[in-house]
Structure 1
């Protein structure tokens, strides 16, 4: 496994577009050539390689000089630096030569990002199976995610998949103003989190489906959670669940019509009468009643079907009753769970 934590600075020498798609977590983007320059050099390379390299190096020296002044000059000369580009070729070599000449302890990543990406895929095929999971299940709004946060606060190893995915996990789960990572960067972030865990300690995680928004979970993780994870059933009173929804989905409380329109694809599933009831509650701004009805008529039955489909054992599952979803109450529950399950 790569030991990226051994470096004080990791430089991604690729252009901005490549960096945005995926990069080593913690790496900073100091492009040798930017998006437009990269496209220009690539186009010219098809007809005149020598001229393309001439222009590319010219751009590179100017850009590296600017990065040296704005970023590198502020670093300690004792810093260990790792630099990479797409395949570990010319762009990282230009950075390496500059930093090595100055006197930094610098290394290039063998195989570059392409090699790193291959390694991520290989790791995610097996590495998630090395851990023992406690899986928090329960209907939407019952406080599973908040309980995970309190477990982490109390020192538990928590794998918050929805936080990594920047999504709450349903068709209405997008977080306003927060884009999801690409699939590749989600994979990188997930492996980064797992690599910091100890296989000798329990990993706490929330039950999830195959996808969280637009990103997919690795099969090895899902299969291990489904077949070997210790399952806990979390529940909370409906009044608390509605209060949680009103806090977490405040943007829909101010625009309930948008919420109902987002769920329009469910009309054929729940029936026209039920969907018209949702629309009526939204139109009359009866928000608590709308949220409760959505959970009773759709989310709770849907979650129940998903659990029966994905988990082998649903009988004799320990139940965790959360009567109060405020942090202080969940904090006490988290301590008790850690003492019981590790």
Structure 2
């Protein structure tokens, strides 16, 4: 009653109807096998109680309490989210390392008559597969970077190219961050969750085709790009998007409308630049923001903050030029046309 996948592709493709993670909600939230559902046999508070008794009293008392809690929670799951399954249902169950939590729950399901398997080694086995894919192996595809100054609509172009058939990795989407000081879009996934989502995407790539990735630093917000992909990005050729600063200014004002609509958030971000830009310049920017002068503010930020940093980074990371696309408006129609051109360029590589 155990299942030991040789690689990531084995887990979703092995014929299981449902993958069940029986770890606590906080463990599941940090990371889990893609597509798994969370039916904890011990919630976070219960797991802490059992662990405390194990350390402070005895292993026997901890196992006795744990067994009672697992049975109670298993009954709730069987009467609730699992109640509609017929006799042919085949689940895969896992916990942290394929131990007591998963085997206890699987035994109960097996007694009912369901064809249940336990993931051998549990989540730790899955995590080793992710690490092997992203840390230990060379990246499986040729990488092409989409580059350009801030405000050249790289993320939008990446998404259009993907719709047009290009093979793409959207690191900002996976990390839930737009990759700049103003880029926060809410809570980011944990590093392990970010890596699981990336590994699942990489698993589906065609190694015979290049993959387009937006030129980023080694971190997207607080999430670190794993070394296999980062090494490939450092040596990758670049397709560069070019646009006049005035065009980029208008695009940024539209793209970051959510921040513009939150004056306190905008002011706090600008204030955080004081160490890099000095009190006088930052105070000018804060006054421009308070006066609603968003496009002049964006232009000044690009001139004094973003563009110099981009130019310095480009000098340090000079790689082959794979093409250049020129933008003149960066409105919806032009972004669609440039994205289609980008996809065509990728198809010829």
Provide the TM-score with structure 1 as the length reference. 0.92
Which residue number in structure 1 is paired with residue 302 of structure 2? 295
| RMSD after superposition | 1.9
Matched, 1:164 2:170: no
Q: Is structure 2 residue 222 aligned with structure 1 residue 184?
A: no
- In the other structure, the counterpart of 1:224 is 232
1:31 paired residue number: 40
2-structure distance, mates of 1:48, 1:276: 61
Q: Deviations over 1:10-43 (max 9, x none)?
A: 1111111111121112111100011111111111
Unaligned runs of 5+ in 1: none
Are 1:97 and 2:98 an aligned pair?
no
- Aligned equivalents of 2:263, 2:174: Cα separation in 1: 27
Question: Cα distance, 1:198 vs. partner?
Answer: 1.2
Asked if structure 2 preserves the Cα contact closer than 8 Å seen for 1:11 and 1:83, the reply is yes
Q: Distance in 2 between matches of 1:326 and 1:104?
A: 55
In the alignment, the residues of structure 2 paired with residue 164 and residue 76 of structure 1 have an alpha-carbon distance, to the nearest angstrom, of: 36
Question: Is residue 236 from structure 1 mapped to residue 243 from structure 2 by the alignment?
Answer: yes
Whole-angstrom CA distance in 2 between matches of 1:63 and 1:97 = 14
CA distance in 1, matches of 2:95, 2:138: 27
SS at match of 2:78: helix
How many residues are paired up?
Answer: 337
1:11 and 1:331 mapped to 2: Cα distance?
Answer: 41
CA contact (8 A) 2:252 2:298 kept: yes
Between the aligned partners of 1:235 and 1:324, the Cα distance in structure 2 is: 11
Distance verdict in 2 for CA 1:329–1:66, change over 3 Å: same
- 1:54 CA displacement: 1.4
1:257/1:279 contact within 8 Å kept: no
Contact 2:135 2:227 in 1 (8 A): yes
Residue by residue, what CA displacement relative to the aligned partner does 1:40-90 show, whole Å, maximum 9, x if unpaired? 111111212222111111111111111112211223544432111011001
Matches within 5 A, 1:225-304: 225-227=233-235, 229-256=236-263, 258-304=265-311
- Compute the TM-score of the two structures, normalised by the length of structure 2: 0.90
State how far apart, in whole Å, the 2-side matches of 1:208 and 1:25 are.
25
- Residue segments in structure 2 that go unaligned for 5+ positions in a row: 1-6
